[in-house]
Amino acid sequence: MYMTRLKLGNQEVTIDLGELVGYEVNTHQFIHQKGSPGWGSSDTEMFPIIGPVDQADFEVELPLGTANQDQHGHLRQFPYELMSSSGTEAVFRKVYEADTPIKNAKYPAKSTKEWLDWPYSFQFEKKFELYEDFLEITFRVFGDKDTPFMLGYHPAFKLHSSAPSIQAKDRKISLDEVLAVGSRALEVSNCEEITLIDKKEITIKTQGFGHFMCWTEVRNMVCIEPITFYPYAVEQHHLHKGFQYLKNTEALKVSLHPKA
25-74 pLDDT per residue, tens: 999 999 999 999 999 999 999 999 999 999 999 999 999 999 999 999 99
Using pLDDT thresholds of 50, 70 and 90, give the confidence band for residue 1.
low
On whether the CB atoms of residues 132 and 22 are closer than 8 A, the answer is no
134-175 pLDDT per residue, tens: 999 999 999 999 999 999 999 999 999 999 999 999 999 999
Which of 166, 182, 150 is closest to 74 using CA atoms?
Answer: 150
181-217 pLDDT per residue, tens: 999 999 999 999 999 999 999 999 999 999 999 999 9
What are the angstrom distances between the C-alpha of 56 and each of 72, 102, 108, 156?
A: 14, 19, 17, 28
d(Cα 58, Cα 23) in Å, to the nearest integer? 35
Number of structural domains (the chain) is: 1
User: How many Å separate Cα 145 from the centre of its chain?
Assistant: 23
Domain with 85 in it = 3-258
What's the CATH code of the domain at 169?
2.70.98.10
In DSSP terms, 214 is beta-bridged to 186, 224
On whether the CB atoms of residues 50 and 231 are closer than 8 A, the answer is yes
State the Rg of the chain over Cα: 18
Using pLDDT thresholds of 50, 70 and 90, give the confidence band for residue 2.
confident
Q: What is the pTM of this model?
A: 0.97
